[in-house]
């Protein structure tokens, strides 16, 4: 393709309801919940059994169940709805014929998942009796019903998307008027930022012809992709992969400026592609009423017990025994090093970025056309040149106001698609945080015995046998999976939770490379080998005086307080020893350990 498509790529604007407004410097878009409607074709062809023994409708219901389960875990405040089109009965706010709103746009819950599971337990006849089938539907009415659900939602919506499941590539083949209405409605939805995404299913031996009708319904941001559709999914695993790819929207951390030179600036959005997933914190309840408890933190004066306001509190830093007090305005002024954003410093070869330089997980930047017009074109040109010349961009990065500046390397990444044209990697720059000189530690590695060439060759043999292509995406956290499986079983009233396979458990190494490992062990540790004696423990830098002071204090022996004060090691003494010394010299014993240390220092004139 001549140009990359920077239209969406799985990214969504805004940060949901988690916007705390505290990250000044980022240009936050209006907060809103991600809303998703699953629009499912329920005409009779969707109920024909395929080679797998399942119908297309069964696959759709399993996908819908999976979407709701994933939403509960990943973002339970998002909204999901399910709409059938092609039914004999109708239920929707616009009174459209043959459109049945099964589940209104709302947060996912256990009862909704159970309701979708009931369709998998029933038969096609059960569905026919309860909802019926009709080919006289209008896709325009179905899209209109979805639009009404978005409009009538009481929540503030961010991204609005419709996932359309069907096996019919031309639903209004003999009715040009209905085709024209559907195209017009799809265009109207596109203009109000409602995305329509097609999840098509193919019948046995039949090709889904995207260009016959849906090419004008589904809008693509890149004209080069017009008429191109991922391969049809015949299995649940393939369909679920595509659903997850479309459903997983990454929200921006914020929007900043990227300055390339004097008067040359573009807008970028910052994303976190990797973040450690933890079990949610348990909510505390009052045991008598099961009401949720709320925390309320207050600050009191230690001496008077008076309730303090935020303006009454100051902070200090101790330096040479003195308390240096700062006002809040002074602290904010000291923290400010410049306006938030990226500033280009220069370029370096990509080979200069070492793999062992790791300060924190990298972030990802993507062009933001809403803040500065033309940012996508400039970003595209910079990305292409960096890839062509195999260089990285060195920048100064201040993520938000009152944040310390950091040096970062912008590592270019080209777009990557799989065989079904589902995006694996978006085009953009990884923001690699670089260490300062203060962060780099120099290690003194002691000399030891070196491996012989024969031992190295033996090691290569069993390492080659144990080699496998590792990818983090293939391994789920067994602790999290077990936790959520148990919650799911309790919420859905299941007898037993689904089994969790611990993929982190190492395989049988003896089966794969047992002989090679044993040969290596025999060469490195021959018969009669004895482990050398342990090295003597290292002496402490203070010559053991601190340890002696602690031991003397514990045993009640004499402690040379003056010598320790001269060496600046009074903190090694216990509170009891310090109080005993202060009492013997007629000094005050009030306060904490730091106050006692200050009394001792003042006594010795330090």
3-class DSSP string for 43-68: CHHHHCECCCCCEHHHHHHHHHHHHH
d(C-alpha 535, C-alpha 603), whole Å: 44
Here the tokens at position 491 are: 């919420």
**CA torsion angle for 307, 309, 315, 321 (degrees, to 10)?**
-30
Per-residue pLDDT tens digits for 448-485: 788 888 889 988 988 888 888 888 877 888 888 888 88
Report the predicted TM-score, pTM, of the whole model to 2 decimal places: 0.59
pLDDT, average across residues 572-599 = 81
Q: Where are the alpha helices (DSSP H) in 192-340?
A: 236-247, 328-335
pLDDT band at 305 (very low <50, low <70, confident <90, very high): confident
pLDDT of residue 220: 60
Checking if the pLDDT of 182 tops 70, the result is: yes
Question: Cα–Cα distances in Å, from 247 out to 150, 371, 421, 497, 595?
Answer: 17, 26, 16, 25, 58
Q: Which of 147-161, 417-431, 435-449, 497-511 has the highest mean pLDDT?
A: 147-161
Residues 186/202, Cβ–Cβ less than 8 Å:
no
Per-residue pLDDT tens digits for 495-552: 888 788 888 888 777 788 878 888 888 888 887 776 654 544 555 545 444 444 555 5
pLDDT of residue 400: 84
pLDDT, average across residues 143-170 = 91
Q: Which of 39-53, 109-123, 189-203, 383-397 has the highest mean pLDDT?
A: 383-397
Closest CA to 310 of 322, 297, 295, 319: 297
pLDDT of residue 23: 37
pLDDT, average across residues 14-35 = 47
Residues 429/406, Cβ–Cβ less than 8 Å:
no
pLDDT, average across residues 285-309 = 89
Any bridge partners for residue 194, and if so which? 160
Closest CA to 106 of 60, 152, 63: 152
Strands annotated E in 327-422: 341-349, 363-367, 391-398, 406-413, 416-417
Active-site residues, by number, are 29
Closest CA to 418 of 176, 245, 193, 588: 245
Helix (H) or strand (E) holding 191: helix 176-191
pLDDT of residue 224: 45
Provide the 8-state DSSP code for 168: -
d(C-alpha 404, C-alpha 334), whole Å: 10
Among 72-76, 207-211, 220-224, 259-263, whose mean pLDDT is lowest?
Answer: 220-224
Residues 178/142, Cβ–Cβ less than 8 Å:
no
3-state helix, strand, coil in the chain (%, to 5): 35, 20, 45
d(C-alpha 474, C-alpha 333), whole Å: 47
How does the average pLDDT of the chain come out, rounded? Answer: 81
pLDDT of residue 15: 41
Checking if the pLDDT of 142 tops 50, the result is: yes
pLDDT band at 25 (very low <50, low <70, confident <90, very high): very low
Among 75-89, 255-269, 583-597, whose mean pLDDT is lowest?
Answer: 583-597
d(C-alpha 123, C-alpha 139), whole Å: 25
Per-residue pLDDT tens digits for 231-272: 545 445 655 655 554 445 566 788 999 999 888 999 999 998
Checking if the pLDDT of 190 tops 80, the result is: yes
Q: Which of 88-92, 227-231, 247-251 has the highest mean pLDDT?
A: 88-92
pLDDT, average across residues 67-91 = 88
How far, in whole angstroms, is CA 481 from its chain's centroid? 16
Residue 282: phi, psi to the nearest 5?
Answer: -70, 145
d(C-alpha 599, C-alpha 227), whole Å: 82
How far, in whole angstroms, is CA 327 from its chain's centroid? 36
pLDDT, average across residues 55-84 = 87
Cα-Cα end-to-end distance for the chain: 73
pLDDT of residue 353: 92
What percentage of the chain carries pLDDT values higher than 90?
Answer: 28
d(C-alpha 82, C-alpha 242), whole Å: 18
**Which are the contacts of 95, defined by CB distance < 8 A and separation ≥ 6?**
none
């Amino acid at each position: 393709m001549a140009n990359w498509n920077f239209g969406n790529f799985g990214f969504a604007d805004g940060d949901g309801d988690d916007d705390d407004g505290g990250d000044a410097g980022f240009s936050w878009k209006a907060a809103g919940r991600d809303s998703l409607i699953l629009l499912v074709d329920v005409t009779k062809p969707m109920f024909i059994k395929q080679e797998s023994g399942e119908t297309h409708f069964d696959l759709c219901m399993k996908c819908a169940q999976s979407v709701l389960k994933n939403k509960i875990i990943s973002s339970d405040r998002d909204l999901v709805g399910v709409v059938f089109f092609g039914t004999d009965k109708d239920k929707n706010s616009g009174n459209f014929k043959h459109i049945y709103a099964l589940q209104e746009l709302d947060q996912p819950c256990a009862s909704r998942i159970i309701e979708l599971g009931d369709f998998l337990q029933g038969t096609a006849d059960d569905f026919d009796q309860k909802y019926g089938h009709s080919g006289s539907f209008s896709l325009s009415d179905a899209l209109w019903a979805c639009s009404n659900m978005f409009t009538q939602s009481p929540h503030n919506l961010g991204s609005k998307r419709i996932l359309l499941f069907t096996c019919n590539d031309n639903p209004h083949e003999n009715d040009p008027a209905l085709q024209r209405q559907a195209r017009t409605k799809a265009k109207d939805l596109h203009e109000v930022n409602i995305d329509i995404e097609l999840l098509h299913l193919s019948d046995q031996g039949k090709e889904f012809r995207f260009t016959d009708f849906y090419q004008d319904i589904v809008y693509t941001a890149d004209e080069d992709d017009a008429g191109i559709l991922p391969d049809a999914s015949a299995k649940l695993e393939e369909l679920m992969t595509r659903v997850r790819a479309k459903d997983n929207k990454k929200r921006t951390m914020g929007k900043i400026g990227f300055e390339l030179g004097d008067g040359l600036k573009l807008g970028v959005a910052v994303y976190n592609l990797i973040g450690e997933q933890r079990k949610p914190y348990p909510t505390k309840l009052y045991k008598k009423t099961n009401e949720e408890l709320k925390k309320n933190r207050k600050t009191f004066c230690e001496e008077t017990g008076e309730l303090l306001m935020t303006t009454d509190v100051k902070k200090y830093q101790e330096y040479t025994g003195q308390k240096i007090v700062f006002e809040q305005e002074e602290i904010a002024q000291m923290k400010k090093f410049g306006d938030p954003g990226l500033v280009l410093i220069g370029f370096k070869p990509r080979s200069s970025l070492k793999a062992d330089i790791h300060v924190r997980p990298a972030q990802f930047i993507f062009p933001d056309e809403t803040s500065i017009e033309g940012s996508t074109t400039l970003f595209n040109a910079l990305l292409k040149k960096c890839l062509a010349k195999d260089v990285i961009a060195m920048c100064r990065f201040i993520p938000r106001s009152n944040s310390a500046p950091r040096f970062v390397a912008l590592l270019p990444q080209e777009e990557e698609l799989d065989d079904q044209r589902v995006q694996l990697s978006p085009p953009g720059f990884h923001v690699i945080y670089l260490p300062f000189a203060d962060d780099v530690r120099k290690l003194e590695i002691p000399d030891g015995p070196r491996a012989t060439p024969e031992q190295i060759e033996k090691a290569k043999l069993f390492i080659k046998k144990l080699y496998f292509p590792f990818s983090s995406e293939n391994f789920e956290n067994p602790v999290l999976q077990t936790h959520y499986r148990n919650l799911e079983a309790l919420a859905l009233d299941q007898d037993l939770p689904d089994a969790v396979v611990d993929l982190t458990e190492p395989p049988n190494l003896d089966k794969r490379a047992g002989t090679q490992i044993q040969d290596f062990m025999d060469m490195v540790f021959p018969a009669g080998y004895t482990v050398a004696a342990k090295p003597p423990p290292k002496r402490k830098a203070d010559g053991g005086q601190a340890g002696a002071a602690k031991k003397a204090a514990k045993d009640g022996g004499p402690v040379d307080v003056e010598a320790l004060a001269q060496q600046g090691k009074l903190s090694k003494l216990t509170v009891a020893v310090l109080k005993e010394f202060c009492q013997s010299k007629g000094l005050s014993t009030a306060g904490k350990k730091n106050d006692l240390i200050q009394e001792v220092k003042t006594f010795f004139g330090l």
